């Protein structure tokens, strides 16, 4: 239980740090947010719980494929915001696009060797 609380606090601290950095340096906050800190931490914790090389290889490869559908959101949102859409609407549209692309990835992923 303590490990779960520590992980939750660490994750929350990373989000707060990114938000605080973003108040003064938005590009630096974006850089920090783009770092695969959560993925690396997840892999460390997964390895600690189940030190299995094949399981870790499947996890790392699947992480690569599942990152791809989220990337277009980060191009769509700035475009929508610069064309006058309110933030919440641009965010909702970006999230909807991401969900649609994740569904496409889940459908076509097995053809790429992705174990769903």
pTM of the entire predicted model? 0.77
* Tens-binned pLDDT, residue by residue, of the chain (116 aa): 777 888 788 888 888 999 999 999 999 998 888 888 888 888 998 999 999 999 999 999 888 888 999 999 999 999 999 999 999 999 999 999 999 999 999 998 888 777 76
- Between CA 23 and CA 67 the distance in angstroms is 26
What region does 84 belong to: left with phi over 0, alpha with psi -120 to 50, or beta?
left
């Amino acid at each position: 239980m303590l490990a779960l609380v520590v992980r939750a606090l660490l994750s929350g601290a990373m989000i707060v740090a990114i938000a605080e950095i973003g108040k003064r340096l938005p590009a630096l906050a974006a850089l920090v947010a783009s770092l695969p800190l959560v993925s690396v931490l997840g892999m460390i914790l997964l390895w600690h719980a189940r030190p299995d090389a094949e399981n870790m290889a499947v996890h790392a490869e699947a992480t690569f494929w599942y990152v791809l559908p989220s990337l277009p959101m980060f191009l769509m949102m700035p475009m929508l915001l610069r064309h006058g859409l309110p933030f919440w609407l641009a965010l909702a549209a970006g999230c909807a696009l991401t969900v649609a692309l994740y569904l496409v990835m889940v459908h076509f992923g097995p053809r790429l060797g992705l174990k769903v």
